[in-house]
Every structure is written in C-alpha cells, then in structure tokens.
C-alpha cells in the first residue's frame, strides 16, 4: 500500500526512521509472540481439546523462528534498500495476520461462551499491541490488523445467534477505532519526523549562511585594513602638499580652493581612521589596558583637539572638570569620547557641545550633550550600526560614512562601558558612557596645567 507521506523531500529519511522504530522491538516481538502462542495453545487444549491446536501452535512457532533468524534491516542498510525492507515487513505481518485469523475459526466453540470471550479479549489485545508497534508503517498496520480481526469478526458472526452477533459488532467497532487511532498516530509520527528533518535542514543552511557571513566579514575586515594602510601613505603626501599649497595661496583668490581641498583631505583622513579602527576591532587585535584614568586630563586633550574646529563652525565646546578618576583604557576612551564630540559638532549648527562627568554610586556617567538637529525615535536603535546614517536635513557624505558611532559601540563592548543615547528632534542629543569609578593613582593617566580649565558639574538628568 502506497503512503503519500513518503513522497516528500525527506521521505527516504522518514522511512528509515520508521524502519528503525519497527526493528528496534523486532526481537522482543518475535519472542513475545512465541510465548503468547504457547500459552494460547495450552489454554485452548485445557478448555476444549482440539486435534488442530498443537499443529496450529507448531505452525506459528516455526513461522516466528524463521522470522527471528531471517535477514533483517539494520542501520547499515543503504537508503536505496529501505523501500525493499518496508515491503518485506508489510508482506510478513500481513502473512501473520492471516495466520492469526485461523484461530477463531478453529477454536471458537459453539456452546462455550467463556472460552470465546477469552479468545476474543486476547485477539483484541493483540490488535492494540499491533497498532502500537506497527504504526510507523501504515500499510503494515492495516495489513496485519484487518485480516486478523476480520477473521474473528466473521467467525463470530457465523455462529448466527444474538450474543455472537453482538460480539462480532463490538469487535468490528473496536477494529475501526483501532485503525483510526493507528492511522492518526502514523500521521502525527510522520509529520513530527518531517518537521524534525526540516528543522535540521534549516539549521544546517543557517550554519552555512553564518559561516559565509563570517567569511565575508573577515574578508571585509582584511580589505578595510589593507585599504586603510595602503591609502594612508598617499593621503599623507596629499595632506603635506595641500598644506604647502594652502600656505602659498593664502592671500590669493585660489586660496579658497586650497582650503576646500584640505577640508576634503581631512574628511577622507577621518574616514580612513574609522575604517582602520573597525578593522582592528573586528579582527580582535585590540587589547585594552585598564588602569586608573584622570578624566580631567582626558578632557583637556579633547578640548585642545576640537576647540579650533568648534570655533571655526561658530560653536561652543564646553568641557567641564570633575576631579573624577575612572578605570579604563585611556587611549581607547579618548577615541570613544573623540568620536562622540566629533559627532556632536557635525550635526550642530548653533549652540555647541558640552562634555560632563558625574559620579553615581560606583559608576561615573560621562555625557556628551549637543544642540544639534536631533534624531527621530525610530532611528535611535540603529545609530550605532555600521554605515547607518539617520536621515537629517542637509546630511551628506561630508558628514562621514556613518562609522564613528559604530566604533564607539565596538569600543563600548570591548571596554564594558555601556553607552546609550537620548534625543529629541530639533532639541539635540545626549550620549552617555557608564564607567567604573577608580581611586586616584600615581601610575594612572594625569595631566598638568588644567587648573582654571573647568567649572561646575552639569546638573542635569
């Protein structure tokens, strides 16, 4: 009997699992049935001696011994042999069903209702056992139970009296219920196996995709590193010649073009630095050197770095002293804050940026506030993604490639300094780093000459 459930993409694998399930209890089934037929023969012989009892028992014992020692399916069988073994087991259990169907014809005495009922109960129990063990192969299930129970039903009905007709009807209903249960369980078992293999297939494809993505990421990292290094030398030469040209043309009309050239060179240099940062961080070659860091010293350096740029744009850069120390990598923390300040100045057209630090328990909040255009709420969760640029008025490639905040995010994970952002369109943004407090240390990063540089801590939540 053909089973359409075996025609799918995973049909051969499902069939293999069904055969494994049946043959898993093969030996136990053969031995149990030999014991059962001996007990049945003894019971019938004691109740109603019949000359065919022991030939019947001997026929079944020989059949079960043959099946026990006959070649059978093993997990080593090739996929092409599975269908052949399935047909063999179907033919075998169908033969057993017809052999068992002889019992009610031979041993249902016309006037001995107790023996008839006992035999009926035994055969119905045998039917339930067959449904449980043969459900992996629907054709085998039907091939055994239908002739076996059919022989019992017809033998009971042939007696003709009301009691036997009632028993025959009861056995028929029982058979139909068992067949329905067996077919449903077969369907559920097949669907569960199919789903399992589909999930395994999808998981394998997902692993392949992950591996391909990782290879692509590694290739991208190598490319960025190579490109950044290879372009640095000619870019450095361009910057030197451009600076010389800018100085020579300072008081001439052509000087504006030289200024534009140098602005473009600086933007390109910043982009290359960010690309190199990304490649090094992704390659895992950056190892943080954690030690006590004096924030005021770091702030002085950042102020010197960005003050001229802020003044050139007509903005104010306020970096407020705090007297706090944190445990971090001074160079990497400098890079993080530098990217945040640069980002704040880029998108501010008035006002400026403020850098503050304040202690909260065992943590220090370092915040960079700006008065820029702000970020819409639906874009906040993406601003730290690589090459992502939130749509803002007047935004172009002159504002960079969208790598700066990605570097901040990578360094945040590397240093275990959580970073978050709050923003309101038209009202500016606030980026916050959370760092562990550290005690002042003579071996930490310090600065000189920062007196008079800062003010009070910025009191805002």
How many domains, the chain? 3
Q: What is the pLDDT of residue 123?
A: 86
Which DSSP string do the residues of 45-87 spell out, in sequence order? HHHS--TTHHHHHHHHHHHHHHHHHS----TTS-GGGHHHHHH
Q: What is the pLDDT of residue 178?
A: 93
Q: What is the pLDDT of residue 111?
A: 67
Give the residue from 249, 283, 317 where a domain finishes.
283
Residues 86 and 178 placed together within one structural domain of the fold: yes
Residues 13 and 151 placed together within one structural domain of the fold: yes
Grouping H, G, I as helix, E, B as strand and the rest as coil, residue 9 is coil
Task: Give 437's DSSP letter.
Answer: B
With beta carbons less than 8 A apart as the criterion, state whether 436 and 363 touch: yes
Residues 184 and 308 placed together within one structural domain of the fold: no
Residues 239 and 357 placed together within one structural domain of the fold: no
In sequence order, the 6+-apart residues with CB closer than 8 A to the CB of 206 are: none
- Residue 240's closest CA among 271, 265, 260? 265
Q: What is the pLDDT of residue 458?
A: 33
pLDDT tens for the 461 residues of the chain, in order = 445 445 567 888 888 888 888 888 778 877 887 887 887 778 777 776 777 778 888 888 888 888 888 888 888 888 888 889 889 889 988 988 888 888 888 776 666 787 788 888 888 988 898 888 888 999 999 999 999 999 999 988 988 888 889 999 999 999 999 999 999 999 999 999 989 989 998 999 999 999 988 888 777 777 766 766 677 778 778 878 778 887 888 778 777 887 788 877 777 776 666 666 666 676 666 788 899 999 999 999 999 888 888 888 889 999 998 889 999 999 889 988 998 998 888 888 888 899 999 999 899 999 999 988 778 777 776 777 766 566 555 444 445 556 778 888 888 888 899 999 888 887 888 999 999 998 886 555 444 333 333 333 333 33
Count of other CB atoms within 10 angstroms of residue 88: 15
In sequence order, the 6+-apart residues with CB closer than 8 A to the CB of 264 are: none
Q: What is the rounded CA–CA span in Å between residue 186 and residue 183?
A: 5
In sequence order, the 6+-apart residues with CB closer than 8 A to the CB of 155 are: 104, 105, 108
Within-domain flag for 134: yes
Grouping H, G, I as helix, E, B as strand and the rest as coil, residue 343 is helix
> How many CA atoms are closer than 13 Å to the CA of 319, on its beta-carbon side?
25
Within-domain flag for 301: yes
In sequence order, the 6+-apart residues with CB closer than 8 A to the CB of 103 are: 40, 56, 119, 123, 151, 152
Which residues constitute the domain of residue 303?
291-436
Residues 328 and 273 placed together within one structural domain of the fold: no
Within-domain flag for 368: yes
Within-domain flag for 83: yes
Kindly report the pTM of this predicted structure: 0.51
Within-domain flag for 22: yes
Give the residue from 182, 207, 232 where a domain finishes.
207
Within-domain flag for 278: yes
Residues 190 and 233 placed together within one structural domain of the fold: no
Residues 122 and 241 placed together within one structural domain of the fold: no
Residues 269 and 313 placed together within one structural domain of the fold: no
Task: Give 349's DSSP letter.
Answer: S
Residues 276 and 390 placed together within one structural domain of the fold: no
Query: At residue 430, what are phi and psi to the nearest 5 degrees?
Result: -135, 120
Give the residue from 262, 283, 304 where a domain finishes.
283
Q: What is the pLDDT of residue 452?
A: 30
Residues 126 and 161 placed together within one structural domain of the fold: yes
Within-domain flag for 224: yes
Residues 400 and 273 placed together within one structural domain of the fold: no
Within-domain flag for 452: no
Q: What is the CATH number of the domain that holds 317?
A: 3.30.565.10
Q: Helix 404-415 crosses helix 330-346 at what angle (to 10 degrees)?
A: 150
Residues 376 and 313 placed together within one structural domain of the fold: yes
């Amino acid at each position: 009997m053909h089973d359409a459930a075996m025609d799918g993409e995973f049909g051969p694998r499902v069939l293999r699992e069904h055969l494994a399930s049946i043959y898993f209890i093969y030996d136990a089934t053969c031995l149990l049935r030999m014991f059962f037929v001996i007990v049945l023969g003894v019971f019938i012989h004691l109740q109603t001696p019949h000359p065919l009892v022991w030939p019947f028992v001997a026929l079944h014992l020989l059949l079960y011994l043959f099946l026990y020692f006959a070649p059978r399916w093993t997990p080593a069988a090739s996929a092409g042999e599975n269908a052949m073994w399935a047909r063999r087991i179907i033919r075998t259990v169908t033969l057993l069903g017809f052999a068992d169907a002889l019992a009610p014809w031979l041993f249902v005495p016309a006037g001995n209702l107790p023996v008839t009922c006992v035999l009926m109960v035994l055969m119905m129990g045998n039917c339930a056992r067959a449904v449980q063990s043969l459900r992996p192969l629907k054709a085998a299930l039907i091939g055994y139970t239908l002739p076996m129970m059919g022989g019992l039903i017809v033998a009971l009905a042939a007696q003709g009296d009301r009691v036997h007709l009632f028993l025959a009807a009861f056995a028929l209903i029982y058979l139909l219920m068992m067949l329905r249960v067996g077919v449903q369980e077969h369907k559920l078992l097949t669907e569960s196996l199919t789903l399992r293999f589909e999930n395994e297939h999808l998981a394998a494809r997902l692993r392949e995709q992950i591996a391909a993505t990782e290879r692509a990421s590694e290739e991208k990292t190598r490319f960025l590193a190579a490109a950044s290094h290879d372009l640095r030398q000619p870019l450095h030469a361009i910057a030197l010649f451009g600076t010389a040209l800018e100085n020579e043309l300072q008081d001439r009309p052509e000087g504006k073009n030289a200024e534009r050239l140098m602005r473009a060179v600086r933007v390109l240099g910043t982009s290359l630095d960010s690309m190199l940062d990304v490649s090094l961080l992704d390659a895992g070659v950056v190892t943080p050197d954690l030690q006590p860091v004096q924030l005021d010293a770091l702030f002085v350096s950042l102020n010197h770095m960005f003050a001229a740029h802020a003044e050139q744009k007509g903005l104010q850069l306020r970096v407020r002293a705090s007297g706090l120390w944190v445990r971090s990598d001074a160079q990497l923390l400098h890079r993080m804050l530098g990217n945040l300040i640069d980002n704040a100045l880029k998108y501010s057209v008035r006002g400026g940026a403020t850098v503050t630090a304040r202690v909260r328990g065992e943590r220090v909040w370092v915040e960079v506030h700006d008065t820029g255009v702000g970020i819409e709420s639906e874009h906040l969760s993406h601003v730290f993604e690589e090459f992502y640029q939130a749509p803002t008025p007047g935004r172009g490639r002159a504002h960079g490639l969208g790598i700066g905040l990605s570097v901040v995010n990578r360094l945040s994970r590397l240093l275990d300094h959580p970073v978050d952002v709050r923003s309101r369109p038209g009202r500016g943004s606030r980026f916050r780093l959370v760092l562990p407090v550290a005690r002042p240390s003579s071996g930490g990063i310090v600065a000189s000459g920062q007196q008079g540089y800062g003010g009070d801590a910025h009191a805002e939540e």
